[in-house]
Amino acid sequence: MAMTVTVSLMSGRSAKLKAEPGSWVHDLRTRASKELKTPIGGLVLQMQGAPNTTPLEEEATLQQAGVRDGAMLNATVRQVPVGCSRRNAAFALVRGDGTVVTWGDAQSGGDSSSVYQNLTKVQTIKATSRAFAALRRDGQVVTWGDPLRGGRGGPSSHLQDVTSLQASQSAFAALRTDGRVVTWGDTAAGADSNSVSQRLLEVSSISATAFALAAICQDGLVETWGDRRYGGDCRAVQKELQGVRSIVGNDFAFAAIRADSSVVCWGKDDSGGSPGEMQAQLVDVVSIEASSAAFAAIRSDGRVVAWGDRQFGGDCSSVRDQLIQVQSITASRAAFAALKADNTVVVWGHEQYGGTVSLQISPQLNHVNLIKATEFAFAALKSDGQVVTWGNPVEGGDSQSPSIKEKLRDVQQIEASSGAFLAIRSDGSVVCWGNSDKGAYTKPVDGYLKDVHCIATSLN
């Protein structure tokens, strides 16, 4: 006999749905997403007397999950998994049913027809400059695109029990449940990890520059491989690389945050591999963002420290007084945009890459919740669902054309390729703009870019 359950969002909106006890949790989640017109990542059963935050198992029946008639379920909202990169000229989007839609430059992975039948139950997607790798819920990986850039095609027997993926410009690395690492793609970009394979034990995370990879291993130690000119050799700072919490790479260098919130850098010196006089300010660091050849760190006091190539945003002295209470930073190829606690934005870096904002756009940069960037432009998502853009107009910096502007409302998520932006609206529709050769032209797949708001997991 059918039962009635209530699914509620944090906003207070809710929907009453009828379901059979033997129906699947993921089917109920999909129905709730459609009814509430909101991307739902999971359902949490409300428990009397104690808070509960554990989502119900997707592959369980409602009866197995302990859902009874009259149950109250909290919905957790997740973002749509979108495979894209500042380096790649194509998009890959995971739909609500776990299948994948791709478009953009076909040679860069915009055409996934050769592996379409394998692209099911996909969780996350990573991109090199010309290929994609999709991680499925069963721990298998499917790749497509340029074989020389990691798109060798189809699933692989070596890529089983995978928990996460990382990508350099031309190589992929997969982290397995046993803590081992599998690499493939361009050997010059980190695909050959044989020299360190015996030391890649209990790996917790992997980071990348353009042509090298770095792994945090047991006890916070670091192993690197790939082109030494791009950070593939960390021996000069090996003794300092202990207790490492996280690593960020730009195209040429790495920056590691240690457990004591200090920073260690290596790679090309003038591209951020050596902070120089800024090293003394790199204390109490919370997070780091990278342009192509510079870094910007947020400290616990909300201040920002930038270093690296000045032409790529490595000098923020012109706006230092404005950089207070900074919450997050986003980078294009050669500029940075900082989002402050009051939801305003401060930019710096190369003018042609979005490092300055016009007098017309500047007053609109308030109530901002999120910022994304292509190589040459930025897009800011505001709390009212509107989008503000600046930078190179051809590469996504101009969203003022009537055909685009009228559609950019009720936006919940934005993503970026190397030269185009993608916006997902609350009704599950998709809007793209920017360079038509880099993902802005969606006509061949328009029929598939609907109902993308029923999501299993978020993109890592």
Assigned domain for 454 exists: no
Spell out the residues 6+ positions from residue 298 whose beta carbon is closer than 8 angstroms to its own.
Answer: 285, 286, 287, 288, 289, 304, 326, 327, 328, 329
Average pLDDT for 105-118: 88
Which has more pLDDT, 367 or 87?
367
CA-to-CA distance for 375 and 359, rounded, in angstroms?
22
Domain count along the chain: 1
- For residues 45 and 65, the answer to whether their CB atoms sit within 8 Å is yes
Q: Does the pLDDT at position 52 exceed 90?
A: no
Which has more pLDDT, 122 or 78?
122
pLDDT at 451: 54
Assigned domain for 244 exists: no
Q: Does the pLDDT at position 368 exceed 70?
A: yes
CA-to-CA distance for 265 and 222, rounded, in angstroms?
12
Assigned domain for 24 exists: yes
pLDDT at 453: 38
State the chain's mean pLDDT as an integer: 87
pLDDT at 214: 96
Average pLDDT for 238-243: 94
Over residues 168-201, the pLDDT tens digits come to: 889 999 999 988 899 999 998 999 998 898 888 8
Which of 97, 171, 93 lies closest to 134, judged by CA? 93
Whether pTM > 0.95 for this model: the answer is no
From 37-46, 103-112, 351-360, 401-410, the region with the lowest mean pLDDT? 37-46
pLDDT at 357: 96
Expressed as residue numbers, the domain containing 23 is 3-77
Which of 62, 58, 54 lies closest to 22, judged by CA? 62
pLDDT at 459: 29
pLDDT at 219: 81
Element (H, E) at 221: none
CA-to-CA distance for 400 and 109, rounded, in angstroms?
29
- For residues 291 and 311, the answer to whether their CB atoms sit within 8 Å is no
Distances (CA, A) of 431 to 82, 365, 386, 388, 393: 14, 21, 12, 14, 16
Assigned domain for 53 exists: yes
Residue 25's domain is classified under what CATH number? 3.10.20.90
pLDDT at 455: 29
Q: Does the pLDDT at position 452 exceed 80?
A: no
- For residues 195 and 172, the answer to whether their CB atoms sit within 8 Å is no
Q: Does the pLDDT at position 437 exceed 90?
A: no
Assigned domain for 148 exists: no
Assigned domain for 204 exists: no
Assigned domain for 62 exists: yes
pLDDT at 32: 87
Assigned domain for 49 exists: yes
Element (H, E) at 271: none
Element (H, E) at 71: none
pLDDT at 415: 87
